[in-house]
Chains A and B, each alone.
Chain A
Amino acid sequence: MIEIKNVTKYFRVGFFGTRKNAVEDLSLDIDGGKVTGFFGPNGAGKSTTIKMIVGLIKASKGSIKINGYDSFDYRARLKLGYLPENPSFPRGLKGIEIINYYAKLLNKKINKNEIYDALKLAGIFYAKNTQAHKYSKGMTQRLALAVSIIGDPEILIFDEPLSGLDPIGRKEFKDIIFKLKERKKTIFFSSHVLADSKELCDRIAVLVNGRLIKNENLENIEKEAAVYAEEKKEDRLSGEYNTPLEVYLYDLMLKNRKN
């Protein structure tokens, strides 16, 4: 489905344009029909990786292929839906106008009912005639989700889909992801909320400081977590983190962090 091979991305920063690596030598295969969770602390390079996958930024080294097409080729996105982090829409247009426009840019005919269904599923149907720049953060997030699932794409790339949502919204979004999972969609989503991992994912990838430090099945990683919890013998389950998996992931990130 999605093959990321030895990808490095650096940005040029400062006056002299010195290179700063955001992602280093990342290789990752995202399997079809599975939900892969992409975890990591702030600034780990999750969004950078996702933007490379969807063809917004170009990898400095390495290659990314989606269904055999290079990620900068528009055909790579024929069956791809993308939900950016902190989505934003042009001013002055209504929600319905926006989703209509994006639906037209797909390579197939989308009828009105499909658009309404997507809006209803994302829970923003009621506000379809409001201008999108007047939406709250959560409403914007919902519209962006509706846009990303329009046309029933096979691959869904969500960058922090649950951020900015209220508890009800989080539950609804998770339910949507479950539904998509049942329909065997390939889902790749980033998050820093470790509690999201167990509920949703088949597979977990952990990125810290631009390096991939873990890429495992949920079962395997849970086993590792159980072993880790045995070794530690600390009772830390009471605080912020409630399961051995969360504690394990937390410690993994903490250990690998540079600063």
Chain B
Amino acid sequence: MKNILYGIMYSFKEIKNSKIFYSFLIFALILISGSYFVSQTSFINQGRIMVDFSIFAISIFNIFIGIFIGASVVYDDVEKKSIFIGITRPVKRTEYLTGRFLGLAAAIIFSTVIMMFIFYFVLLIMHKFIVPVVPNAGAVVSGAKSAHNNFNLQNRSAAYAAPNHPFTFYMLPQPLIIQGLFIIIESIFISAAALLFSLVTSKALASIFAILIFFIGNVSSRMNDLVKPVKKIIKGKVVIVNQANHILTSIVHFIYTVLPNFSIFNISSEAAYKLDISSGIIFYRLIYGISYTVLLFIISSLLFARKDIS
């Protein structure tokens, strides 16, 4: 346990100091700050453009961090032989691997939180998209409430916030915070896949595979919807119509079932309309991401335990 903790700290420090990490981080921060200028190209709905653009930047860069560092965090250590001394201490290989992986997870959390904060400050300065928090009412506006009664609440709180409280504290709306959380889960998830691939192939191939998995995992549910047989009413009768041939349908369905579905972590449309995400959905998607990640990590750990390191 103690060894894992030190491993995490060490690994986090190493990743945080790595060129690839802070170049991604800085680039994302530039994009987020730049979202203001992008939004200026439009006259309507500038806030929404900023949100879409920034969330896209935050998620894509964290996924990049997850994939590229995930594929190299152990691979490079083996390749450059810097693993030799650490792993010949009295530690279990699983402890080493856990330390490395959780260190990367910590780095992803760190970068997402920083990016979300910058995003928040940009919105704060623009005074767009943020919701006031009313101290005396005791309720945070962006609680886990259904989208249904959200509108009333917002109107009410806006009224509250007005004259009596000179210092109003503004927060990101709930779906945006949840989106940040989902980005963390998603990036850690894909990094576990990249780590697993990097144990059996080269770093470059592992990154490519992880990108492919991510891409397919994002479109697979939509693809599945496209090829699924649909009910149609033709001449007053309900008939089931196949939209694609059988082979294609089953291939797509197979891919949809086997590969992880990443599209569930993308809630930018809900975020853009400030629709609260229900706690059931949050819970289910978190469990989905975490259990998949744990499964991938266990496979990695079994592979790594017997691996020749030379």
A127 at the interface (CB under 8 A from B): no
A98-112: contact bitstring with B at CB < 8 Å (1 yes, 0 no)? 000110111100000
The secondary-structure label for the interface of chain A is loop
- Which residues of B29-63 are within 8 A (CB) of A? none
If A77-B89, A80-B88 touch, whether A88 touches B306 (CB-CB below 8 Å) is no
Size of chain B's interface in residues, with CB distance under 8 A?
25
- Closest residue of chain B to A97 (Cβ to Cβ) is B13
Q: Does A130 contact B (CB under 8 A)?
A: no
B81–A86 touching, CB < 8 Å: yes
Q: Which of A74-101 contact B (CB under 8 A)?
A: 74-75, 77-78, 80, 82, 84, 86-93, 97, 101
B17 & A93 in contact (Cβ 8 Å cutoff): yes
Distance in angstroms between the alpha carbons of A55 and B10 in the assembled complex: 22
CA distance A104 to B6 in the complex (A): 7
Separation of A11 and B308 alpha carbons in the complex (Å): 10
Are B84 and A105 touching (Cβ within 8 A)? no
**Which residues does chain B contribute within 8 Å of A101, judged by CB atoms?**
6, 10
- Residue from the list A51, A90, A91, A106 in contact with B310, Cβ < 8 A: A51
A91 touches B308 (CB 8 A): no
8 Å CB contact of A57 from B10, B13, B81, B308: B308
For chains A and B in complex, what number of residue pairs have CB atoms within 8 angstroms?
Answer: 79
B90 part of interface (Cβ distance < 8 Å): yes
In this complex, how many residues of chain A approach chain B with their Cβ under 8 Å: the count is: 33
In the bound complex, residues from chain B placing their C-beta under 8 Å from that of A102 are 85-86, 89
Q: How far is the CA of A107 from the CA of B14 in the complex (A)?
A: 23
What sequence of 0s and 1s flags, for each residue 1-36 of chain A, a beta carbon within 8 Å of any chain B beta carbon?
Answer: 000000000010000000000000000000000000
User: Which residues of chain B have C-beta atoms less than 8 A from A88's C-beta?
Assistant: 80-82, 84
Min C-beta distance of B23 to chain A, whole Å: 14
Pick from A48, A92, A148 the residue with the most CB of B within 10 Å. A92
Within 8 A of A (CB), among B1-40: 2-3, 6, 10, 13-14, 17-18
Give the residues in chain B near A106, CB-CB below 8 Å. 89-90
CB distance from A23 to the nearest CB of B (A): 12
A74 touches B90 (CB 8 A): yes
When chains A and B are docked, how far (Å) is the Cα of A102 from the Cα of B308?
21
With contacts A58-B306, A90-B82, A93-B17 known, is A77 near B90, CB below 8 A?
yes
**Which residues on A sit within 8 Å (CB–CB) of B310?**
48, 51, 56-57
B281 at the interface (CB under 8 A from A): no
A93 and B13 contact, CB distance less than 8 A: yes
Q: List the B residue with the shortest CB-CB distance to A76.
A: B90
Residues on A with C-beta less than 8 A from B88 are 54-56, 77, 80, 82
- Is B14 touching A93 in the complex (CB atoms < 8 A)? yes
Report how far A84 CA is from B308 CA in the complex, Å: 15
- Return B15 CB to nearest CB of chain A, in Å: 9
Q: Are B85 and A147 in contact (CB under 8 A)?
A: yes
Closest to A48 in B: B310
Report Cα–Cα, A141/B214, bound state, in Å. Answer: 42
With the chains together, A90 CA to B103 CA distance in Å? 14
| B274-310 contact mask (Cβ, 8 Å, vs A): 1 or 0 | 0000000000000000000000000000000010111
User: Is B91 in the interface zone, CB < 8 Å from A?
Assistant: yes
Measured CA separation A51–B91 after assembly (Å): 16
A194 within 8 A of B: no
List residues of chain A with CB within 8 A of the CB of B3: 104-105
In the complex, what residue of chain A is closest to B94 when comparing beta carbons? Answer: A74
Task: For B92, list chain A residues within 8 Å (CB).
Answer: 74
14 A-B residue pairings within 8 Å (CB atoms): A56-B310, A57-B308, A58-B306, A78-B90, A80-B88, A80-B90, A82-B88, A88-B81, A93-B14, A97-B13, A101-B6, A105-B86, A106-B89, A148-B85
